[in-house]
Amino acid sequence: MKMTDIEKRVGDFCLRIPELQLESGCIHGLIGGNGCGKTTLAKLMMGILTPDSGRIDREGLNEREITMTTQRPYLMHTSVYENLVYPLKLRGKKPREADVRPWLTRCGLWEKKDQYAGSLSGGERQKLSMIRAMIFKPKLIIVDETLSNLDPDSVELFEQWIREIQAQAAVTWVMISHQLSHICRMCDQIHFLSQGELAASGPARELLKNCGDERLKAFLERESLDLNVRGRKVD
Protein backbone atom coordinates (compact mmCIF):
# COMPACT_ATOMS: atom_id res chain seq x y z
CA MET A 1 0.00 0.00 0.00
CA LYS A 2 1.24 3.45 -0.90
CA MET A 3 -0.12 6.75 0.40
CA THR A 4 0.81 9.98 -1.38
CA ASP A 5 0.08 13.61 -0.43
CA ILE A 6 -2.61 12.58 2.05
CA GLU A 7 -4.50 15.19 4.01
CA LYS A 8 -7.42 14.40 6.30
CA ARG A 9 -9.20 16.77 8.65
CA VAL A 10 -11.16 15.49 11.64
CA GLY A 11 -12.58 18.45 13.53
CA ASP A 12 -9.69 20.76 14.36
CA PHE A 13 -7.13 18.01 13.74
CA CYS A 14 -5.35 17.57 10.41
CA LEU A 15 -3.34 14.52 9.39
CA ARG A 16 -0.72 15.08 6.67
CA ILE A 17 1.20 12.21 5.09
CA PRO A 18 3.42 13.30 2.16
CA GLU A 19 4.37 9.69 1.38
CA LEU A 20 4.11 6.35 3.17
CA GLN A 21 4.92 2.98 1.66
CA LEU A 22 3.81 -0.18 3.48
CA GLU A 23 6.09 -2.89 2.18
CA SER A 24 4.10 -6.05 1.57
CA GLY A 25 4.76 -8.98 3.89
CA CYS A 26 6.39 -6.84 6.61
CA ILE A 27 5.33 -6.03 10.15
CA HIS A 28 5.00 -2.26 10.49
CA GLY A 29 4.93 -0.40 13.80
CA LEU A 30 2.94 2.83 14.03
CA ILE A 31 3.95 4.89 17.06
CA GLY A 32 3.39 8.36 18.48
CA GLY A 33 1.77 10.19 21.36
CA ASN A 34 -1.94 10.38 22.09
CA GLY A 35 -3.85 12.36 19.49
CA CYS A 36 -1.07 12.26 16.89
CA GLY A 37 -3.26 10.61 14.25
CA LYS A 38 -2.43 6.89 14.50
CA THR A 39 -6.02 5.68 14.50
CA THR A 40 -7.05 8.18 11.83
CA LEU A 41 -4.25 6.88 9.63
CA ALA A 42 -5.30 3.28 10.31
CA LYS A 43 -8.89 4.07 9.30
CA LEU A 44 -7.62 5.61 6.06
CA MET A 45 -5.68 2.42 5.35
CA MET A 46 -8.83 0.40 6.02
CA GLY A 47 -11.04 2.56 3.85
CA ILE A 48 -13.26 3.50 6.79
CA LEU A 49 -12.25 7.11 6.17
CA THR A 50 -11.46 8.73 2.84
CA PRO A 51 -8.76 11.40 2.49
CA ASP A 52 -9.72 15.00 1.76
CA SER A 53 -6.86 15.06 -0.73
CA GLY A 54 -4.12 12.76 -1.93
CA ARG A 55 -4.07 9.18 -3.15
CA ILE A 56 -4.11 5.74 -1.54
CA ASP A 57 -2.97 2.91 -3.78
CA ARG A 58 -3.96 -0.39 -2.17
CA GLU A 59 -2.11 -2.23 -4.90
CA GLY A 60 -4.87 -4.68 -5.72
CA LEU A 61 -6.09 -5.25 -2.17
CA ASN A 62 -9.86 -5.26 -1.83
CA GLU A 63 -11.81 -4.47 1.33
CA ARG A 64 -12.38 -8.12 2.19
CA GLU A 65 -8.63 -8.73 2.33
CA ILE A 66 -8.09 -6.05 4.99
CA THR A 67 -9.15 -6.15 8.63
CA MET A 68 -8.61 -4.11 11.77
CA THR A 69 -8.80 -4.89 15.48
CA THR A 70 -9.20 -2.26 18.19
CA GLN A 71 -8.53 -1.83 21.89
CA ARG A 72 -12.25 -2.13 22.52
CA PRO A 73 -13.34 -4.97 20.21
CA TYR A 74 -16.62 -4.82 18.36
CA LEU A 75 -18.33 -8.14 19.07
CA MET A 76 -21.70 -9.34 17.83
CA HIS A 77 -24.49 -10.18 20.27
CA THR A 78 -24.03 -13.89 19.89
CA SER A 79 -21.74 -16.71 21.03
CA VAL A 80 -17.96 -16.77 21.05
CA TYR A 81 -18.01 -19.41 18.32
CA GLU A 82 -20.36 -17.46 16.05
CA ASN A 83 -18.26 -14.33 16.48
CA LEU A 84 -15.17 -16.20 15.36
CA VAL A 85 -16.70 -17.81 12.27
CA TYR A 86 -18.58 -14.69 11.13
CA PRO A 87 -15.81 -13.41 8.79
CA LEU A 88 -15.62 -16.86 7.19
CA LYS A 89 -19.37 -16.93 6.54
CA LEU A 90 -19.24 -13.36 5.28
CA ARG A 91 -16.80 -14.53 2.61
CA GLY A 92 -18.94 -17.48 1.57
CA LYS A 93 -16.96 -20.13 3.45
CA LYS A 94 -18.50 -22.94 5.48
CA PRO A 95 -16.55 -23.19 8.74
CA ARG A 96 -15.83 -26.65 10.10
CA GLU A 97 -15.39 -27.24 13.81
CA ALA A 98 -12.15 -29.10 13.13
CA ASP A 99 -10.72 -25.95 11.55
CA VAL A 100 -12.08 -23.54 14.15
CA ARG A 101 -11.29 -25.45 17.33
CA PRO A 102 -7.47 -24.98 17.23
CA TRP A 103 -7.89 -21.20 17.20
CA LEU A 104 -10.08 -21.15 20.29
CA THR A 105 -8.10 -23.84 22.06
CA ARG A 106 -4.76 -22.10 21.67
CA CYS A 107 -5.96 -18.92 23.35
CA GLY A 108 -7.98 -20.72 26.04
CA LEU A 109 -11.47 -19.99 24.75
CA TRP A 110 -12.64 -23.37 23.49
CA GLU A 111 -14.51 -24.19 26.70
CA LYS A 112 -16.34 -20.87 26.32
CA LYS A 113 -17.29 -21.32 22.68
CA ASP A 114 -21.04 -21.38 23.42
CA GLN A 115 -20.85 -18.52 25.90
CA TYR A 116 -22.28 -15.10 25.05
CA ALA A 117 -19.33 -13.08 23.75
CA GLY A 118 -20.39 -10.01 25.71
CA SER A 119 -19.83 -11.87 28.98
CA LEU A 120 -16.11 -12.37 28.32
CA SER A 121 -13.51 -10.42 30.26
CA GLY A 122 -11.73 -7.54 28.56
CA GLY A 123 -8.65 -9.63 27.86
CA GLU A 124 -10.73 -12.51 26.49
CA ARG A 125 -12.55 -10.13 24.17
CA GLN A 126 -9.23 -8.91 22.82
CA LYS A 127 -8.09 -12.49 22.24
CA LEU A 128 -11.31 -13.26 20.37
CA SER A 129 -10.91 -10.11 18.31
CA MET A 130 -7.36 -11.09 17.36
CA ILE A 131 -8.15 -14.63 16.24
CA ARG A 132 -11.26 -13.42 14.39
CA ALA A 133 -8.98 -11.10 12.43
CA MET A 134 -6.51 -13.86 11.62
CA ILE A 135 -8.77 -16.84 10.91
CA PHE A 136 -9.87 -15.83 7.39
CA LYS A 137 -6.26 -15.17 6.29
CA PRO A 138 -6.44 -11.52 5.19
CA LYS A 139 -3.54 -9.87 3.41
CA LEU A 140 -3.42 -6.79 5.67
CA ILE A 141 -4.13 -6.82 9.42
CA ILE A 142 -4.16 -3.57 11.41
CA VAL A 143 -3.85 -4.07 15.18
CA ASP A 144 -4.82 -0.87 17.02
CA GLU A 145 -3.77 -1.35 20.67
CA THR A 146 -5.55 -4.72 20.78
CA LEU A 147 -2.76 -6.38 22.78
CA SER A 148 -2.35 -3.52 25.24
CA ASN A 149 -4.45 -4.97 28.07
CA LEU A 150 -3.30 -8.57 27.77
CA ASP A 151 -1.07 -10.20 30.36
CA PRO A 152 2.58 -10.83 29.37
CA ASP A 153 2.01 -14.53 28.66
CA SER A 154 -0.86 -13.73 26.28
CA VAL A 155 1.17 -11.02 24.55
CA GLU A 156 3.99 -13.53 24.06
CA LEU A 157 1.48 -16.07 22.70
CA PHE A 158 0.20 -13.67 20.05
CA GLU A 159 3.67 -12.44 19.16
CA GLN A 160 4.66 -16.05 18.44
CA TRP A 161 1.40 -16.62 16.57
CA ILE A 162 2.01 -13.58 14.38
CA ARG A 163 5.52 -14.81 13.58
CA GLU A 164 4.14 -18.21 12.58
CA ILE A 165 1.61 -16.60 10.26
CA GLN A 166 4.40 -14.50 8.76
CA ALA A 167 6.40 -17.66 8.08
CA GLN A 168 3.44 -19.33 6.36
CA ALA A 169 2.04 -16.42 4.34
CA ALA A 170 3.20 -12.95 3.41
CA VAL A 171 0.68 -11.08 5.55
CA THR A 172 1.26 -7.35 6.05
CA TRP A 173 0.75 -6.16 9.62
CA VAL A 174 0.38 -2.65 11.04
CA MET A 175 0.89 -2.73 14.82
CA ILE A 176 -0.24 0.34 16.78
CA SER A 177 0.89 0.19 20.39
CA HIS A 178 2.17 2.23 23.31
CA GLN A 179 4.17 -0.83 24.40
CA LEU A 180 7.34 0.13 22.60
CA SER A 181 9.20 -2.99 23.68
CA HIS A 182 6.50 -4.97 21.84
CA ILE A 183 6.88 -2.79 18.74
CA CYS A 184 10.67 -3.18 18.79
CA ARG A 185 10.51 -6.95 19.19
CA MET A 186 8.02 -7.45 16.39
CA CYS A 187 8.38 -4.81 13.71
CA ASP A 188 10.50 -4.65 10.57
CA GLN A 189 9.55 -1.03 9.86
CA ILE A 190 8.59 1.81 12.21
CA HIS A 191 6.57 4.90 11.31
CA PHE A 192 6.46 7.76 13.84
CA LEU A 193 3.67 10.34 13.88
CA SER A 194 3.94 13.67 15.67
CA GLN A 195 1.06 16.16 15.77
CA GLY A 196 -0.50 14.77 12.62
CA GLU A 197 2.71 14.57 10.61
CA LEU A 198 4.84 11.60 9.59
CA ALA A 199 8.05 12.68 11.33
CA ALA A 200 10.18 9.57 10.80
CA SER A 201 9.89 6.30 8.92
CA GLY A 202 12.26 3.45 8.15
CA PRO A 203 13.72 0.07 9.14
CA ALA A 204 13.23 -0.50 12.88
CA ARG A 205 16.85 -1.22 13.79
CA GLU A 206 18.20 1.66 11.74
CA LEU A 207 15.60 4.15 12.96
CA LEU A 208 16.14 3.34 16.63
CA LYS A 209 19.92 3.13 16.47
CA ASN A 210 20.54 6.22 14.33
CA CYS A 211 17.51 8.34 15.08
CA GLY A 212 17.96 11.74 13.45
CA ASP A 213 14.58 13.22 14.29
CA GLU A 214 14.52 15.19 17.54
CA ARG A 215 10.80 14.60 18.00
CA LEU A 216 11.29 10.85 17.84
CA LYS A 217 14.23 11.05 20.25
CA ALA A 218 12.11 13.00 22.71
CA PHE A 219 9.24 10.55 22.33
CA LEU A 220 11.48 7.55 23.02
CA GLU A 221 12.96 9.26 26.06
CA ARG A 222 9.52 10.09 27.43
CA GLU A 223 8.41 6.53 26.98
CA SER A 224 11.60 5.30 28.68
CA LEU A 225 12.35 2.97 25.81
CA ASP A 226 15.13 0.49 26.49
CA LEU A 227 16.85 0.15 23.11
CA ASN A 228 18.27 -3.21 24.14
CA VAL A 229 14.89 -4.87 24.60
CA ARG A 230 14.72 -8.56 23.85
CA GLY A 231 14.66 -9.24 20.13
CA ARG A 232 15.67 -5.72 19.08
CA LYS A 233 19.13 -5.18 20.52
CA VAL A 234 20.59 -2.27 18.62
CA ASP A 235 24.25 -2.11 19.63
Domain count, the chain: 1
The answer to whether residue 145 sits within a structural domain is yes
The CATH number linked to 164 is 3.40.50.300
The answer to whether residue 161 sits within a structural domain is yes
Domain that holds residue 56: 2-74+139-222
The answer to whether residue 235 sits within a structural domain is no
77 Cβ contact partners less than 8 Å away, ≥ 6 residues apart: 116, 117, 118
Q: State how beta strands 172-176 and 27-31 pair.
A: parallel
**pTM reported for the whole predicted model:** 0.87
- Tell me what pLDDT residue 230 has: 40
- Tell me what pLDDT residue 184 has: 84
Helix 122-134 to helix 152-168 angle (10° resolution) is 0
pLDDT in tens, the chain (235 residues): 999 999 999 999 999 999 999 999 999 999 998 889 999 999 999 999 999 999 999 888 888 899 999 888 889 999 999 999 999 999 999 999 999 999 999 999 999 999 999 999 999 999 999 999 999 999 999 999 888 778 889 999 999 999 888 888 889 999 998 777 888 888 999 999 999 999 999 998 888 777 777 888 888 877 764 444 444 444 4
